[in-house]
Amino acid sequence: MIIGSRILQHEKVSSTNTLAAALLRDSDPPEGTVITASYQETGRGQPGNSWESEPGKNLLMSVILYPVMVRPADQFIISRMVSLAVYDLISARTRAARIKWPNDIYVGNDKIAGILIENSIMGQTLGSSIAGIGLNVNQTEFKSGAPNPVSLKQVTGTTHYLRAITEELISLLDQRYGMVVRGDGVLLEREYHEALYRAGEWHHYSDSNGEFEGMIERVMPDGMLLVRRRDGRSREYAFREIDYIL
């Protein structure tokens, strides 16, 4: 077992990712160190966004990894493996779970979990990776104006025991990280694609040139999203270059 070898539980922190970064800077935390918190004063979402979570209601976690077997060009494998671990947890409870590129977890058209991966590169490989996960578990009202939040309680109709969900996720993350360590990247890529929201279907999107109809073909090894248009042209998008019209 790598992930969960050490678990640091906090009541209140600024952000579990920020705390993980401080630990990496100031000490030598063992690989697989997990930091959890009941509440974050400044929970961070994707750059420019915050992460809303009522005290004690949701899963807030960061994991410290040293993926020295991963080349910088392949770093999206960390997103794939963390997304799949959270997807495994949700899809055991509902058939409607999907991974929305690059690493949101959706149930139907609503977002149940967000992931913030912060990698550092050391020469030819990754030096460290902080994988931050926010999973909405028992919160039922969201006030921050996020477009489409949903929680496990809203999806299943029951309250969930946070400690059990946390233990299950640590175990799933450990299994999925084992695939990275063993070099099972092709399988991770296939499973990620099978779970991918809107893959192989025609839907509406917009980019800097306006709205269009497109079909997600695949996510490239470097994490770019390949989308085909009705006229047969395909284009690769980086994060934030394309908006999904829901």
Strands (E), the chain: 7-13, 34-40, 59-65, 97-100, 104-107, 110-122, 125-135, 202-207, 210-219, 225-229, 234-237, 243-244
Contact assessment for residue 234 and residue 224, using Cβ atoms and an 8 Å cutoff: no
Nearest distance, CB of residue 15 and ligand BTN, angstroms: 3
Burial (CB count within 10 angstroms: exposed 0-12, middle 13-18, buried 19+), residue 157: exposed
Distance (Å, whole) CA 52 – CA 176: 27
Residues 8-37, interacting with ligand BTN (CB under 6 A):
15-17
Q: Which helix (H) or strand (E) holds 194?
A: helix 185-194
The residue within the footprint of ligand BTN, chosen from 24, 33, 44, 242 (CB under 6 A), is 44
Q: Does 134 bind ligand BTN (CB under 6 A)?
A: yes
Using the contact rule CB under 6 A, the part of the chain among 109-117, 193-201, 218-226, 228-236 near ligand BTN is 109-117
Among 5, 38, 46, 148, binds ligand BTN (CB under 6 A): 46
Least CB distance to ligand BTN at residue 104 (A):
6
Looking at 54-62, 92-100, 199-207, 217-225, which segment touches ligand BTN (CB under 6 A)? 54-62
Chain residues in the site for ligand BTN (CB under 6 A): 15-17, 40, 43-46, 49, 51, 60-62, 104, 114-116, 132-134
